[in-house]
Amino acid sequence: MAAVAAAAPFRRMVTPGGYTMSVAMTNCGAAGWVTDRAGYRYAPGDPDSGAPWPAMPETFLRIAAEAAAEAGYPGFVPDACLINRYEPGAKLSLHQDRDERDHRHPIVSVSLGLPATFQFGGPKRADPVRRIALRHGDVVVWGGPARLHHHGVLALKDGDHKATGRARINLTLRRAL
Ligand code: MD3
Ligand code: FE
């Protein structure tokens, strides 16, 4: 994680609508999720440096494959890991993850550091949302119909965690290409 962030620093990206996201992001793997005024997409390298994203650490591949297999998705090989860093007040509005080529692949999320309130909705944006606490060490596999449900993260409450300090880090392991 530290090696990834040293090579491809966390940055707050701009949405197509021109808003700067409160969550800081970086990526590792063959593809990385990016947004700018032109849109959302997976890119082969860091637009800030022009270099390829750092390689996916073996530990990330192993955690993703083991969690996915246990949840009924054998043979999951992620090619993208989006790393989100939340500082106090940072949030992620309700959205769907649709930029990956084949939505039959699950997404594996790993939460580290400060706890957050996750919002889990339905296939339509207006569907009711459930609030679920995501805590340090939680690993969740999002597959099947849930893969395309709307979801978000409420503003992070301030705190201090021995693993991350005043922050929450979330890894999402994906098959993008
Ligand atoms: C449900 N990240 O990066 S992780 C994202 O905590 C994202 O940083 C949140 O939403 C975070 O796109 C939530 C849990 C998660 C990740 C992907 C999902 C839940 C999901 C994709 C589909 C459905
Ligand atoms: Fe998402």
CATH, residue 103: 2.60.120.590
Q: Whose CA is nearest to atom 4 of ligand 1?
A: 109
Residue 153's closest CA among 173, 167, 174? 167
Question: In this structure, which amino acid lies at residue 93?
Answer: S
User: Cα(120)–Cα(100) distance, rounded to whole angstroms?
Assistant: 19
Ligand 1 neighbours, Cβ below 6 Å, are 82, 84, 92, 97, 107, 109, 140, 142, 146-147, 149, 151, 153, 170, 172
Domain count, the chain: 1
DSSP state of 42: E
Over residues 87-104, the pLDDT tens digits come to 999 999 999 999 999 999
Over residues 109-120, the pLDDT tens digits come to 999 999 999 999
- Interval between CA 97 and ligand 2 midpoint (Å): 5
Are 24 and 91 in contact by the 8 Å Cβ rule? The answer is: no
Considering the chain, what percentage of its residues have pLDDT values greater than 70?
A: 100
Q: Which domain holds residue 147?
A: 2-174
| β-sheet bridge partners, residue 165 | 161
